[in-house]
Amino acid sequence: MAPLTRIGLAGLAVMGQNLALNIAEKGFPISIYNRSTVKVDETVQRAKAEGDLPVYGFKDPESFVKSIQAPRVIILLVKAGPPVDATIKSLVAHMEKGDCIVDGGNEWYENTERREKELAQQGLLYLGMGVSGGEEGARNGPSMMPGGSYEAFKYIEDILLRVAAQVDSGPCVTYIGKGGSGNFVKMVHNGIEYGDMQLIAEAYDVLKSVGKLSNEELHEVFSEWNKGELLSFLIEITADIFSIKDDKGEGHLVDKVLDKTGMKGTGKWTVQQAADLSIAAPTIAASLDSRFLSGLKEERVKAAEVFSSGVFGDSSIVVDKQKLIDDVRQALYASKICSYAQGMNLIRAKSVEQGWGLVLGELARIWKGGCIIRAIFLDRIKQAYDRNPDLANLLVDPEFAQEILDRQSGWRRVVCLAINSGISTPGMSSSLAYFDTYRRDRLPANLVQAQRDYFGAHTYERTDVPGSFHTEWFKLARQSKI
């Protein structure tokens, strides 16, 4: 009879397989299970091939659960929603009090909170754990965001600390907080990722369309950027993409990729949550809108014909290539600060609403490695929150404020150049608008408030006298016309 394993994992798509192999490689014998049994055999074979790793496959829920030492910990990597409920149901039938389930998928945080309560009634513990880093991260060290039962976290803390990406400040994992906080933080991480990818795409568009850079030149520019302040996973992979030749024809592969972006939903949830909490997240919202518009490929092709004769943008603009590259780098960095500021503000607002007590600097720390938004820049964010845990907005941290001021001329030049060239830069433009709105002590909102009072008697406050006021604007306006 085989000895009991330390942990179990159910759900063996790419992420599940890779995480199971990572856990086994770190010295923790693991039991695996999947509803379609082909995946079980496939994973066991990979474990043999990748170093005879201690991975044990099971074809039914009962033998799978019974193969794990008590108190049992089972990680699920199953498609979010009903499939998770169905998997939990099949496993719980064989589990005992004190056992624990960890959902590692991109789940809606309220589903995690519901499951935690339901399982608690049966004496079982539950964690909702965001896992970022894609298939490569899962295999070699992801960033992990566990939230829910602290007791459950303590069961697997030793495993998570070994399996997570390791950076100078330690493993990229920490107990996030109660309830669905782990899922919520991962959701916002994905929203920030949407913003980052959109800003990089806009930088590419301006350099290619206005600066007329070739793919070889773009590869060089992004490789160079990846050595400085923009050093990050997304910049690194972007540089790689520009170097890949098409294996099915002439030229570069990137030019043959259809310009329609897919999405799984976490970016949309982020924008919806921002609206629910009255947190401005224009950069993330702009990235979502851009994905929606990219989906209208057929309509865009027709619109391009309709507007082909109109003069769109000034094609006669001559630019200094080197100056443009430098300006775009500055615009990208400054816009990125705004995107992260919006994400952090959203996390903080939710933490206050739910009483989660999240530590923003610690989140920046665990995103430094393993995850898709990992970047040298996150070190700066951690330091900003270390200096002032109650920082109202990243933009007003003295260091970031100075960095934006140093880059704003280049940022403004890029946005103006794009507008005059008829190229949309919704991420960079909305980041700039966010900065320009946030830094002003007086906005035209006084007029909007007056309008609301005029047509709906919504009342307004005054700058000089406390209290609420209502004016019969219509009557006064009529009298003045007589």
Q: Provide the 10 A C-beta neighbour count for residue 334.
A: 26
Evaluate whether residue 201 is within a structural domain: yes
Determine phi and psi for 411, rounding to 5 degrees: -60, -50
**Of 265, 257, 410, 399, nearest in space to 325 by CA:** 410
**Are 197 and 162 members of one domain?**
no
**Of 8, 7, 66, 16, nearest in space to 36 by CA:** 16
**Are 258 and 403 members of one domain?**
yes
Which pLDDT score, from 0 to 100, does residue 2 have? 66
The CATH number of the domain holding residue 463 is 1.20.5.320
Evaluate whether residue 357 is within a structural domain: yes
Catalytic residue among 39, 186, 336, 382: 186
**Are 451 and 435 members of one domain?**
no
Evaluate whether residue 25 is within a structural domain: yes
- Residue 106 marked as a ligand binder: yes
Q: Provide the 10 A C-beta neighbour count for residue 481.
A: 6
- Residue 78 marked as a ligand binder: yes
- Residue 452 marked as a ligand binder: yes
**Are 129 and 60 members of one domain?**
yes
> Which bin fits 347, alpha (ψ -120 to 50), beta or left (φ > 0)?
alpha
Instruction: At 410, list the tokens.
Output: 């280049």
**Are 425 and 326 members of one domain?**
yes
What residue type is assigned to position 241 of the chain? I
- Residue 109 marked as a ligand binder: no
* Residue in the block written with tokens 């933080």: 185
- Residue 79 marked as a ligand binder: yes
**Are 293 and 409 members of one domain?**
yes
- Residue 288 marked as a ligand binder: no
**Are 128 and 244 members of one domain?**
no
**Are 348 and 204 members of one domain?**
yes
Average pLDDT per block of 10 residues along the chain, 482 residues long = 87 94 95 93 95 94 95 93 93 95 93 95 95 88 93 93 92 94 94 96 96 97 96 95 93 94 86 97 96 95 86 71 97 96 96 95 90 87 93 95 97 96 96 97 96 94 96 91 74
316: Cβ contacts below 8 Å, ≥ 6 apart: none
- Residue 190 marked as a ligand binder: yes
Is 193 tagged catalytic? Answer: yes
- Residue 13 marked as a ligand binder: yes
**Are 395 and 272 members of one domain?**
yes
In 3-80, where does DSSP find H-type helix? Answer: 14-25, 38-49, 61-66
In 295-425, where does DSSP find H-type helix? Answer: 297-306, 321-354, 360-366, 377-387, 398-420
Q: What is the DSSP letter of 29?
A: -
- The pTM score is 0.91
Domain boundaries, position 457: 444-480
Catalytic residue among 193, 202, 268, 350: 193
d(C-alpha 127, C-alpha 144), whole Å: 12
Angle at 199 between CA 194 and CA 202, to 5 degrees: 125
Question: How many structural domains is the chain composed of?
Answer: 3
**Are 151 and 73 members of one domain?**
yes
Is 220 tagged catalytic? Answer: no
**Are 295 and 425 members of one domain?**
yes
**Of 73, 14, 3, 84, nearest in space to 43 by CA:** 14
Evaluate whether residue 181 is within a structural domain: no
d(C-alpha 311, C-alpha 370), whole Å: 46
Q: How many residues does the chain have?
A: 482
310: Cβ contacts below 8 Å, ≥ 6 apart: none
Instruction: At 139, list the tokens.
Output: 């295999």
